[in-house]
Chain A
Amino acid sequence: MGERRYSETHEWVAVDGSVATVGITDFAQSQLGDVVFLELPRKGQRLAAGEAFGVIESVKAASDLYAPLAGTVVEVNERLAANPELVNTDPLGEGWLIKVEAEGGLPDSLLDEAAYLKLAESGTGH
């Protein structure tokens, strides 16, 4: 898988061939607290970069999820329906959200890890 890139709205994306895996960052899950459920798109749904594609609801609050890239959803992490806490315990691994068949490359606005960590440290909430 390629190097992870990050959005300013705290999603991550990692590209493997033409398929991109999308999740939320460790900083985002720590800010949200315990995730209670997620509303995720269906397979086949097309996403535009920057568009809201779902909702993550934690004990504290509900937050929109934004697509870090354009493409078509090819897989949804079904385990999250019964185990939403995977987003908290392993946000970069088993707590991934969706896989997307990418259209075009990754937007230039995405950040590399160093730039994202700097943003997170400055305390911008999800």
Chain B
Amino acid sequence: MVDFAGWEMPQQYTSVREEHAAVRGAAGLFDVSHMGRVAFAGGAAAELLQELVTNDVGSLAPGHAQYNLLCNEQGGILDDLVVYRLPDGSWSAVVNASNREPDVAWMQAHAGAGAEVLDRSAETALLALQGPRAEAVLAVVAPAADLSALPYFGVTEAELAGAQGVGISRTGYTGEDGFELFVPADRVAGVWDAILEAGAGQGVLPAGLAARDVCRLEAGLRLYGNDMDERTNPYQAGLGWTVKLDKGEFIGRAALAGFRAAGPDRVLVGIRCGERVIPRHGARVRLAGEQIGEVTSGTHSFFLGAGIGMASVAAGRAPVGAQVEIEGRGAGGLAEVVKLPFYRGSVKSAVTGAAKQAG
């Protein structure tokens, strides 16, 4: 178990290799209860969210979720998050564990009369069932939910393994089809067991944070704190598609409009390494001997059998196909700049990179 933002979280239950194979071939069940769950109450909740985040929540119908960024006035990314509009029209969000307290404080500081920001993290647990068999397995424990009709980034509510009012969203952080489940905290042990029991004959395994990191990297999904932070603007992180400058006023809009007009000075690219090289966070990236950036995330891809990563590099210096050198052990190694994602799984989206539950 490792300490993660104050939570004791399993890195792995059996082995990363096996858990990764389960997610890609059947399904993996993750406990991601460390992530922050925030509710927005009051008649002005939608207006508050529209002011806080970069995407246009005004376009969200009840029963839908949306990937979003929380930026400061300077256009730096404070967090990435998923905003949910529940079937009853109410609003909530899932934020990164390590940012939960500063996010909530930031949101509360901007909430005027008519809107309230409530940290609901302790009341529910959050599970993620991810993989090509996720729907078939979940259907066994949630027979009342019409899962086949739930679209990508859709949100519904149903009874699940005897627990009432479980929130179910078709979202995830692995590149596979799958669901995230908002379970009342006192019922989560039963739900966990019921899902594993239903999936036992189908290759479903519990999966830990280490497998989750490999899956999200293969799927080209960013991790806050690694691939972006407060000194990164959305365009530098390749997340300009989440910024809707024409939706009206919001925090950071003026700065972001400037960044967009100027174009990013650095960009996030995928790198695929040669044999026996694994890029690690912070490793320098060189082009013909000259440093052009740094690795932001890296791992060994069990799917590709190669070291993969993301790197933040000077714009225009490392187009797809460029050969770069990655600093590593000894002489380091060669890598090729490639298109993200590295892997396209069973995820329902047609939109690259939108398959993002806040990491």
**Interface residues of A, Cβ cutoff 8 Å to B:** 33-34, 36-37, 39, 55, 57, 59-62, 85, 88
* Contact of B11 with A by CB under 8 A: yes
* Contact of B16 with A by CB under 8 A: yes
Q: A86 → chain B, closest Cβ, in Å?
A: 12
A62 touching B11 in the complex, CB below 8 Å, given contacts A34-B17, A36-B300, A37-B276: no
Bound together, the chains give a CA A57 to CA B279 distance in angstroms of 11
- A33, A36, A85, A88: which contacts B278 (Cβ < 8 A)? A36
Q: A64 → chain B, closest Cβ, in Å?
A: 9
Q: In this complex, what residue of B is CB-closest to A34?
A: B16
14 A–B contacts, CB within 8 A, in A order = A33-B11, A33-B210, A37-B276, A39-B276, A57-B278, A59-B210, A59-B214, A60-B210, A62-B278, A62-B328, A62-B329, A85-B15, A85-B17, A88-B15
- B276, B300, B329: which contacts A59 (Cβ < 8 A)? B300
In the complex, chain B residues 160-198 whose Cβ is within 8 Å of any chain A Cβ: none
Q: A90 → chain B, closest Cβ, in Å?
A: 13
Closest 6 CB pairs of A and B: A34-B16, A36-B300, A59-B16, A34-B17, A37-B276, A34-B15
Indicate the member of B11, B214, B328, B329 with the most A CB atoms within 10 Å.
B329
Bound together, the chains give a CA A62 to CA B300 distance in angstroms of 11
Q: A11 → chain B, closest Cβ, in Å?
A: 18
Q: Which residues of B contact A60 (CB under 8 A)?
A: 11, 210
* Contact of B74 with A by CB under 8 A: no
**Interface residues of B, Cβ cutoff 8 Å to A:** 11-12, 15-17, 210, 214, 276, 278, 280, 299-300, 328-329
- B12, B276, B280, B329: which contacts A33 (Cβ < 8 A)? B12
Q: Which residues of B contact A59 (CB under 8 A)?
A: 16, 210, 214, 299-300
Bound together, the chains give a CA A59 to CA B300 distance in angstroms of 6
Q: Which residues of A contact B276 (CB under 8 A)?
A: 37, 39, 57
Q: Which residues of B contact A62 (CB under 8 A)?
A: 278, 280, 328-329
Q: B311 → chain A, closest Cβ, in Å?
A: 18
Q: A27 → chain B, closest Cβ, in Å?
A: 15
Bound together, the chains give a CA A36 to CA B300 distance in angstroms of 7
Bound together, the chains give a CA A55 to CA B300 distance in angstroms of 15
Q: Which residues of B contact A33 (CB under 8 A)?
A: 11-12, 15-16, 210
Bound together, the chains give a CA A80 to CA B242 distance in angstroms of 45
Q: Which residues of A contact B278 (CB under 8 A)?
A: 36, 57, 62
Q: A92 → chain B, closest Cβ, in Å?
A: 17
Bound together, the chains give a CA A15 to CA B129 distance in angstroms of 48
Q: Which residues of A contact B15 (CB under 8 A)?
A: 33-34, 85, 88
Indicate the member of B12, B17, B280, B328 with the most A CB atoms within 10 Å.
B17
Q: A28 → chain B, closest Cβ, in Å?
A: 15
Bound together, the chains give a CA A80 to CA B61 distance in angstroms of 54
A55 touching B329 in the complex, CB below 8 Å, given contacts A34-B16, A62-B278: yes
Q: In this complex, what residue of A is CB-closest to B299?
A: A59
Bound together, the chains give a CA A88 to CA B11 distance in angstroms of 15
Q: Which residues of A contact B11 (CB under 8 A)?
A: 33, 60
Indicate the member of B12, B210, B278, B299 with the most A CB atoms within 10 Å.
B278
Indicate the member of A60, A62, A88 with the most B CB atoms within 10 Å.
A60
Bound together, the chains give a CA A72 to CA B50 distance in angstroms of 68
Bound together, the chains give a CA A39 to CA B277 distance in angstroms of 11
